[in-house]
Amino acid sequence: MIDFQYTGLASDGKSCQGTVRAPTPEAARLRLIGQGVTPIRIDTASDAPAGEVARGGGAKLKRSEVLLFTREMAHLKQANMPLDRALALLKETAATERLKHFISALEEGIRGGKSLYASMLPFERDFGKQYLVLIRAGETSGSLNVVLKELALQLETDDKLRNYVISSMTYPIILLVVSVLSVTLLLAFVVPQFREIFDSMGDALPYSTKLVIGLSDFVRFHWMAILAGLATLMFLLSRWSATESGRIRLHSMLIEIPLMGKVIKNLQFAVYFRTFGNLLQRGVPMVDALRIALDTLTNTALRKDFEPLVDSVKAGKRLSTGFVSPHFDKTGTPQLIRVAEETGQMDTTLLSLADRYEDQGRRTMDRVLATMEPIIIILLGALVAFIIVAILGGVLSINDTI
């Protein structure tokens, strides 16, 4: 037998709480109903959430699993299926054991008298604060099916944006790596083949040939030191970026990079305004919505610029007065927010701003790629051409000497 702590409503409608002993949460719920108590929340006395056990040793749900759960739950709730039956059906069709354990934890919580929001609280790191707040708002307003559908749509939009960035940067990164490897192979293996021929020339070699030979010798005889230096530099950079001041400084430099910094800012603003607008649309108070939206900013420098906005609104000031950051200069964002305050269309305006910033981010990313790829190709061609010309210059100088 297990001791369960409960919170519920007595037969006269008054709130009550206490402890009941039963073998399972379901048995505890039935026992309370038999005593005339309607259970609202049932927890074990040890306060160990069932979800932590079902998490499988801390295994985090993948984004694809979160999206699959949200989409399927939205479809089932759209068909007016009760929550417990929907969870039972999802558990039977779960594609992974991790997802099945998660759904089992939710099912146990629902049968124990908890709401879906309370049952999902142990999994906040998997879903995020915004997701859970919207679930709570949907349950409170009786529009859980609508909220789940909106969450599924938002997750799909976020995945498309993430996949777009990854796929867009894959080719330039591969091109850059191939360029570095090509030049390194030329210096390490091709140039040394001419070394014995050039040694007999002494000072008669052209300066470009001497420079290429010197670079080749440096790469061949100090490659371990070069790798050790790069590893040390990466380690020191990671340690520096792990500190608060270092992270802020690094993120500040990232958003100051021409074109690429604009891409980072626009995509960050798109996620921020979309989260903010969705929360307001579901009735979340503005201060809470601002705090939750702030968590979506992964760039520490931008996050630091937005932090005073929460205290400003909490102090009773208008939201539009807080958007004084230089990041919004010549964008019209503060003016649009001021108009939205006057017309009462804040949520719609914020969602429109999110779409606008995402579109600007995509178009700027296309310009960055259109600029980056030819620059890499031109630099690679110039380096290879310089090495080849230097070698040919050395060979021709030998012929002249002969």
d(Cα 132, Cα 289) in Å, to the nearest integer? 12
277 and 268 Cβ atoms separated by less than 8 Å = no
The domain limits of the chain are 1-48, 50-127, 142-402
pLDDT (tens digit per residue) in 1-59: 566 777 776 766 566 777 777 777 777 777 777 777 777 677 764 444 444 434 444 46
User: Which residues in the chain come in under a pLDDT of 70?
Assistant: 1-3, 9, 11-15, 40, 44-59, 200-204, 398-402
At 44 the pLDDT is 63
**Which residues 6+ apart lie within 8 Å of 335 measured at CB?**
320
Summarised one tens digit per residue, pLDDT across range 306-333 is: 888 888 888 888 888 877 777 787 778 8
CB-count exposure of residue 136 (10 Å: 0-12, 13-18, 19+): buried
142-402 CATH:
1.20.81.30
The rounded distance, in Å, linking the Cα atoms of 120 and 134 is 12
Distance CA 205, CA 397 (A): 7
Contact residues for 41 (Cβ-Cβ < 8 A; gap 6+)? 6, 7, 8, 113, 114, 118
Distance (Å, rounded) from C-alpha 312 to C-alpha 45? 41
Q: What is the pLDDT of residue 315?
A: 85
What is the token pair recorded at 131? 């997701």
Q: Which residue has the tokens 């719920």?
A: 29
How high is the pLDDT of residue 232? 94
Strands 15-22 and 2-9: antiparallel
Would residue 190 be called left, alpha or beta, if left means φ above 0 and alpha means ψ between -120 and 50 degrees? Answer: alpha
Report residue 6: phi and psi, to 5°.
-130, 155
Note the pLDDT tens digit of each residue in 346-373: 889 999 998 899 899 888 888 888 888 8
Report the SS3 class of residue 9: strand
- CB distance 372 to 171 below 8 Å: no
Backbone CA torsion sign across 327, 331, 332, 333:
negative
Strand 15-22 and strand 38-44: pairing? Answer: unpaired
Q: Looking at this protein, which amino acid is placed at residue 352?
A: S
Non-local CB neighbours of 295 within 8 Å, separated by 6+ positions: 128, 129, 130
